[in-house]
């Protein structure tokens, strides 16, 4: 399967890595590191050279308790970086936003994918995404970023997420967004306990029944801190292991901070799978 991301194709015939580029002062993992445009472009180039098939630019932190930012603040952070990356890199540039105004301006600047943690539920977001005519990733989140981890509850975490995403797919199609332009993200860590996250990873393949590519973000998540008692800077190994598990369960795109290490792990997985299919 190939997605047309504003003229830049994204081949999903094998698992791909999406490089995370937070141009924010307060993101949980790399907040403040890439606020300057030159630093952001340099980091994006490094991730591309390490094998990233697309770069995801975010201008508002969605970590639990993070303060919201205005539309203008997010535009000021994101648009100059998108403009620079579109001209510098041959791979698609994704924008991580829930604001319709940012969606429109980002696509005008050349962004080829919209990555929305709110699954286009904000007022005007469906219309903006329809007008943008680029692929959209719909993510599941219980609650909202400031309070999502307070007390998340599910009757069946995978079934509930599947039902939610199916409803958002239907809403997109009703709004005029073709199914072929949609990707799905189960939202690890967004309104989910450690137990929920582990169940979701174990049963990720069930979401493949929705028939759309899965984008998974597990990189340096707090679930690894809870499980292994590791701070953010010591979560590389579990993040890479989780990326491999997700790919084995059908994930088409792995969203990662550590692109080179994730690429190495996926290359090994692909090599083993190919060898397993060869006649001895």
Pairing relationship of beta strands 93-96 and 54-58 according to DSSP bridges: parallel
CA-derived radius of gyration, the chain = 17
Residue among 221, 230, 267, 279 flagged as catalytic: 221
| Closest-CA residue to 120 (of 55, 52, 65, 168) | 168
Structure tokens at 168: 């958002």
Catalytic residue (one of 203, 255, 267, 279): 255
β pairing state of 214-217 and 251-256: parallel
DSSP at 262:
H
221 tagged catalytic: yes
| Cβ contacts of 213 within 8 Å, gap of 6 or more | 1, 3, 12, 183, 184, 252, 253
Angstrom CA distances, 7 to 15, 53, 83, stand at 20, 14, 15
Helix, coil or strand: residue 10: strand
Residue 181 falls in the annotated catalytic set: no
How far apart CA 171 and CA 149 sit, in angstroms, is: 26
- Residues 50, 10, 54: CA angle, nearest 5 degrees: 40
Which residue from 218, 227, 69, 66 is spatially nearest to 147, judged by alpha carbons? 66
- Give the residue numbers marked as catalytic: 221, 255
């Amino acid at each position: 399967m190939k997605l047309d991301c504003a003229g830049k194709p994204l081949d999903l015939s094998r698992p791909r890595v999406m490089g995370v580029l937070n141009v924010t002062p307060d993101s949980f993992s790399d907040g403040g590191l890439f606020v300057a445009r030159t630093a952001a472009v340099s980091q994006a180039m490094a991730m591309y050279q390490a094998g990233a098939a697309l770069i995801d630019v975010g201008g508002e932190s969605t970590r639990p308790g993070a303060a919201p930012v205005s539309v203008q603040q997010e535009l000021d952070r994101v648009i100059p970086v998108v403009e620079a990356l579109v001209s510098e890199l041959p791979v698609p540039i994704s924008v991580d936003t829930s604001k319709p105004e940012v969606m429109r301006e980002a696509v005008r600047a050349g962004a080829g994918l919209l990555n929305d943690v709110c699954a286009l539920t904000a007022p005007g977001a469906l219309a903006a995404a329809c007008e943008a005519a680029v692929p959209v990733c719909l993510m599941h989140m219980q609650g909202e970023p400031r309070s999502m981890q307070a007390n998340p509850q599910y009757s069946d975490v995978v079934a509930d997420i599947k039902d939610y995403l199916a409803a958002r797919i239907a809403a997109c199609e009703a709004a005029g967004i073709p199914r072929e332009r949609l990707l799905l993200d189960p939202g690890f860590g967004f309104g989910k306990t450690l137990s929920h996250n582990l169940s979701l990873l174990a049963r990720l393949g069930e979401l493949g029944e929705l028939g759309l590519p899965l984008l998974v973000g597990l990189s340096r998540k707090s679930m690894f801190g809870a499980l292994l008692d590791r701070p953010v800077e010591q979560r590389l190994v579990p993040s890479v292991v989780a990326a491999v598990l997700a790919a084995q369960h059908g994930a088409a795109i792995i969203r990662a901070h550590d692109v080179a290490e994730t690429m190495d792990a996926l290359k090994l997985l692909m090599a083993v799978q190919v060898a397993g299919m060869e006649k001895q």
